[in-house]
Structure 1
Amino acid sequence: MTSKNSRQIALEALRLIQRRKAYADVALDFTLSRARQNNIILPESDRRLITELVYGCTRRQKTLQAVLQNFSQKPTTKLPPDLLIILQIGVYQLCFLDRIKPSAIVHTTVELAKENNLTGLSGFTNGIMRSILRAKEKEDILANISDPASFYSYPEWLIELWQKEFGQEAIANICNWFNQTPHLDLRVNLLHATRDQVLAAFTEAKIPAEPIPHLPDGIRVGQGAGDVSQLPKFKEGWWSVQDASAQLVTYLLDPQPNEIIIDACAAPGGKTTHISDRLKNTGKVYALDRLANRLKKVDQNTARLGITNVETLEIDAREFDAEKVIGSKCDRILLDVPCSGLGTLHRHADARWRQTPDEPYKLAKTQSEILECATQWVKPEGVIVYSTCTIHPAENEEVITQFLTNHPDWQIVPPSVDNPAAHFASDRGWVKVLPHEHDMDGFFMVKLQKS
């Protein structure tokens, strides 16, 4: 399989993303699957290149557009759609990949144009790529992009939100953090193994992995580990993939043996299985989700991990009646509510382009409704943990502040000093993980209890 063919596969995936509005991960999986069906065997290095080009060009499309516009005599909007994508693939390699020779990048870009019925524009392609290459050899061509939204490749409203929330001095750090390849974090399944045992298995396989600070069962795996399902002890259920921030949520919930716990927005089940792990397979965990196909993932995860105390329930949390459905109120509730995902933009290359300025406020209404309903499911002395994977205040602090105003008999319970979440707690008692400060996904979580 040649690298030229790899770029063709990347082009096909980017077509689906840019012209058919397909999700980036879905488009990538589809094109790789089609390649397998066509008996194209891809070495791991080619798969990595395809993945890098698809996700990188999607994340950086605004930056790539700005570079191309600076060197093209034609408006980029007037270029044939395929040619624009081909040029984006070429420019991305020149600007963001240093392991490929620049002359090879120019050549493969021109050839890709020819192979996609753009022979008449191969001279234009060659000219613009060589102009960019010559300029790059003399100066940092990205430094000529003065607009922060184009330089970092984000919608303007997001840049403005972060400037307001974190200050101008934090913009570079937060934008760069979300433009990087995501970490691969694991959580050890204590029902089957210890962290030391898992680390030893990775060491034996010569795969770099290290403990995550402040997380007793967390492991961070080095870049380029490959297919997760092929990593040591996956099939044996020794660990799950779960970002460090997401692991904090269950520690804040602090489940105790034999308790009844509801995970109200459970799929795909990372936090559900963590709760079961902390319960040591005792008690009962009810995993709710409104979509049956998402609950199948919960069932698959519990089966692989050897978990037996989880029952899945297909229901919208806003329609759930604990006493009617499960026969009693519960001890603890986890509300990992649907959110804008603005704390995990690096994990979803196209998410920044799909969200709108209004969406977090619409979601806050749903989040508040779910939180309001949950107050009816919990025992008088029970607790609720509310969490999101966003760093938008409308979905976090504002939801909780309004809830406490409406329910003066409820209060925030800060994590105890020995709780892993305590390291990230604010003066108000809630926990806020900031990606650019903590090198973890952006998360918000708070523990609530009746006074």
Structure 2
Amino acid sequence: MKETRGPDPRVWALRVLMQSERNDVSLDLLMDDVLHKPFEPRDRHLLHALVYGVLRNRLRLDTILAAFLHQPMDRIDSRLIWILRMGLFQILEMDRVPNHAVVHTAVELTRTLRMGWAGGMVNAVLRRAIREASGVPLPVMAQEPIRALAVGASFPQWLIEKWIGRYGADETQALCGAFNRIPPLVIRTNTLRTTRDHLMRSLADSAEGIEQTRFSPDGIRMARAHAAVFRLPGFPEGHFQVQDEAAQLVGLLVDPRAGMRVLDACAGRGGKTGHLAQMMNNSGEILAVDQSGEKLSVLEREMKRLGVSMVRCRNHAWTDGPLGREEAGFDRILVDAPCSGLGVLGRNPDIRWRPDRKDLRPFALRQVAIIENSLCLLKPGGRLVYAVCSMEPEETEGVIATILQGHPEIRRVESLAELPESPVSAFWKEGAFRSSPHLDGMDGFFAAVMTTN
């Protein structure tokens, strides 16, 4: 009887890598779509390792590959470049597959893409790499510190320059190292359906390195899951959502209470919406707003899975103006604004290669517009929390300064004495919540609190 095989992880890794460059779709969503395919566990791990490993090492791989190419990389079909990157990554960083097999599968990928004419070039370049990659000269810190760190850690040089100017070379190196480590899977217990202790017991045979999060009271960290998230015990029953600990702490900062009216202004697919709802014990009202109807459809399905019935959805683009005054009177507003994502480069390494991240002014202008158009809906004495998964000044303090300058009726809550005592206090620095991957072992977030005078 002929043995049946699941989908080829290398083919799908190549497709994800090519899509990550062409589309403005986040890597985690691309991976979610692919991982619904029936991969064997070891093939799923290989797919994951190839996609994230190539993206985390892209500049170093390109620097080495350039030594073996006869023309500039930007003149070679990008599909071939991705095949070569995948092959070189396996040669340099993965030892389970023999090098000759790596070369063979890389050549086969050219045929899969109907580019068999390029198989000879791929074969020649990778065979040279097997023999000579270790001898390719790379920039050294003593002579070219910025370029050496950029190539060694595989970050664009403009971003290294930006960080060194703010943090210095040593801290920048530590930050890059943190972003290049494989992050744990972090989930948040849905306390409407279960407890953290019960959930940890149910996951015991499905993951390695399970432990409670250090600060969030509902979080669980896993070094490695044995299955895709949606196949883990408890997922169909709505016992958890995937959410980094820093994002969970931002939810605690909002501090919604049962019976309140809460606006989740940039709700997306509902990660923070579900958290707010469980903190409110599913009592009161949450208006979840997003400009993407597709995301709101996902959010509605998520709320059903979680057993949340208090959320009302509304499709709206804040850059077009505010909602009608009939929606005013919110006790809490969360503006978890679309941003550069430069604080979550560990989970989304593709973002570092997006050229639009070099200029953050468009992001900041959009963030200011969202806050200004939602502020008018805040109840007197209510609280607006502005949050971004970024540590960059343009998207953090710069946005808050612009808002305060244009709205004298609003003030920033800078003292913890005005906020409820919670684990957030460990991250309250200079009047804001700030988490850093290299200092705190979690995503890089910023959150500030504003209220009416």
TM-score (structure 2 length as normaliser):
0.86
The question of whether the paired residues in 2 share the 8 Å contact of 1:28 and 1:54 is answered with: no
Selected match of 2:88 from 78, 87, 91:
91
Q: Which residue of 2 aligns with 1:418?
A: 421
The one-letter code of the counterpart of 2:267 is A
What does residue range 44-443 of structure 1 map to in structure 2 within 5 Å? 44-79=41-76, 81-110=78-107, 112=109, 125-135=122-132, 147=147, 148-205=149-206, 207-317=208-318, 319-321=321-323, 323-324=325-326, 326=327, 328-357=328-357, 359-409=359-409, 410-415=411-416, 416=419, 418-426=421-429, 428-443=430-445
Provide the rounded CA distance (Å) in 2 between the counterparts of 1:194 and 1:32.
28
The one-letter code of the counterpart of 2:404 is L
Following superposition, the deviation at residue 447 of structure 1 comes to: 1.3
Provide the rounded CA distance (Å) in 2 between the counterparts of 1:140 and 1:81.
22
Provide the rounded CA distance (Å) in 1 between the counterparts of 2:22 and 2:325.
48
Q: Secondary structure at the match of 1:185?
A: strand
Q: How many residues align?
A: 441
The question of whether the paired residues in 1 share the 8 Å contact of 2:384 and 2:451 is answered with: yes
With over 3 angstroms needed to count, the CA separation of the structure-2 counterparts of 1:141 and 1:437, relative to structure 1, is farther
After TM superposition, the structure 1 stretch with the greater mean CA deviation from structure 2, 41-50 or 125-134, is 125-134
The question of whether the paired residues in 1 share the 8 Å contact of 2:7 and 2:39 is answered with: no
Deviations 1:325-349 (A, max 9, x none): x3x4111111111211111223334
Following superposition, the deviation at residue 296 of structure 1 comes to: 0.9
The question of whether the paired residues in 1 share the 8 Å contact of 2:206 and 2:227 is answered with: no
The one-letter code of the counterpart of 1:362 is P
Q: Secondary structure at the match of 1:56?
A: helix
With over 3 angstroms needed to count, the CA separation of the structure-2 counterparts of 1:8 and 1:440, relative to structure 1, is same
The one-letter code of the counterpart of 2:334 is L
The question of whether the paired residues in 1 share the 8 Å contact of 2:6 and 2:40 is answered with: no
Unaligned runs of 5+ in 1: none
With over 3 angstroms needed to count, the CA separation of the structure-2 counterparts of 1:66 and 1:240, relative to structure 1, is same
Deviations 1:265-307 (A, max 9, x none): 1121111111111111111111111222211111111111111
Following superposition, the deviation at residue 118 of structure 1 comes to: 6.5
Following superposition, the deviation at residue 102 of structure 1 comes to: 3.5
Following superposition, the deviation at residue 227 of structure 1 comes to: 1.2
| RMSD value, Cα | 3.1
After TM superposition, the structure 1 stretch with the greater mean CA deviation from structure 2, 413-422 or 251-260, is 413-422
The question of whether the paired residues in 1 share the 8 Å contact of 2:255 and 2:420 is answered with: no
Following superposition, the deviation at residue 187 of structure 1 comes to: 0.7
Provide the rounded CA distance (Å) in 1 between the counterparts of 2:345 and 2:286.
30
After TM superposition, the structure 1 stretch with the greater mean CA deviation from structure 2, 156-165 or 121-130, is 121-130
Following superposition, the deviation at residue 161 of structure 1 comes to: 1.6
The one-letter code of the counterpart of 2:192 is L
With over 3 angstroms needed to count, the CA separation of the structure-2 counterparts of 1:98 and 1:298, relative to structure 1, is same
Deviations 1:193-250 (A, max 9, x none): 1111111111254654210101111111222432111111111111111111111111
Following superposition, the deviation at residue 143 of structure 1 comes to: 7.0
Provide the rounded CA distance (Å) in 2 between the counterparts of 1:90 and 1:345.
23
With over 3 angstroms needed to count, the CA separation of the structure-2 counterparts of 1:240 and 1:12, relative to structure 1, is closer
Provide the rounded CA distance (Å) in 1 between the counterparts of 2:118 and 2:384.
61
TM-score (structure 1 length as normaliser):
0.87
